[in-house]
Structure 1
């Protein structure tokens, strides 16, 4: 058996290793500010964070507001429920006209129409609450 004498094992060497090292010191206030910026960046490596800032590479900081995300999720679920109601509405109208006389079907449709008006009022309230929520919370967060 032949063994390769050049292969010493271990990691493959990097093509462009970082050999140069710089040290700097921060005051307590500066350190707190630095750590806040580092945490907000979401990066896992402080050295990469510092080089990103030094060489003015694009650094994106994304703030996630859990309450806004939750509101959006619940609103999406409600939207799908409205779609289901619309599908059911169409199916009920077809069934009523197929299985009942015109008079009886019209009576049931009148009741259904009244419930639909109530649902439309609730929908308007949801839209108003959503606009109010956006003005108070979402716009305020983007200004910061």
Structure 2
């Protein structure tokens, strides 16, 4: 086993750390050897905007599932505790809100497609 020492200026050190972080390699020595001997290595780039969007989209999905469950419970309760006329009036209001929810859902799908297209163009 042989060991070598390398000295970097502050600028070189910062550049080295940046390259190391992007590589995804778990040890600096492994990164240096691979880079020195010209072995290929991956550079991972994380798009913070995409991560944030994905997180928010996951939250929306969970909320939509919860709304679906609540919707079924509301309809059952309306049928059990209200006259047919009153239940129909309340269901009409619920239906209007559901239409708004569907519009929102379609807009989310549109935005997701736009994000997908932009992201695909960036990665090329």
TM-score interval, normalised by the smaller of the two chains: 0.7 to 0.9
Q: Which runs of 5+ in 2 are unaligned?
A: 7-11
- Determine if the alignment matches structure 1 residue 106 to structure 2 residue 88: yes
Instruction: Give the one of 22, 39, 46 matched to 1:64.
Output: 46
Q: Which runs of 5+ in 1 are unaligned?
A: 1-17, 24-30
Query: Cα offset for 1:55?
Result: 6.5
Quick check: 2:23–2:43 contact (8 Å CA) kept in 1? Answer: yes
Paired with 1:108 and 1:21, the residues of 2 have a C-alpha distance of 78
Q: Which moved more, 1:60-69 or 1:119-128?
A: 60-69
Paired with 1:122 and 1:44, the residues of 2 have a C-alpha distance of 43
TM-score, normalised to structure 2, is: 0.77
Quick check: 2:23–2:42 contact (8 Å CA) kept in 1? Answer: yes
- Determine if the alignment matches structure 1 residue 77 to structure 2 residue 75: no
Aligned-residue RMSD, C-alpha: 2.6
Paired with 1:86 and 1:44, the residues of 2 have a C-alpha distance of 44
Paired with 2:76 and 2:34, the residues of 1 have a C-alpha distance of 63
Quick check: 2:24–2:42 contact (8 Å CA) kept in 1? Answer: no
Q: Indicate the SS of the match to 1:67.
A: helix
- Determine if the alignment matches structure 1 residue 142 to structure 2 residue 104: no
Kindly provide the CA deviation profile for residues 2-48 of structure 1, in whole angstroms up to 9, marking residues without a partner as x: xxxxxxxxxxxxxxxx227598xxxxxxx69x735434214465432
Q: Indicate the SS of the match to 1:61.
A: coil
Kindly provide the CA deviation profile for residues 60-97 of structure 1, in whole angstroms up to 9, marking residues without a partner as x: 32111111101111111111111111111000000000
TM-score, normalised to structure 1, is: 0.68
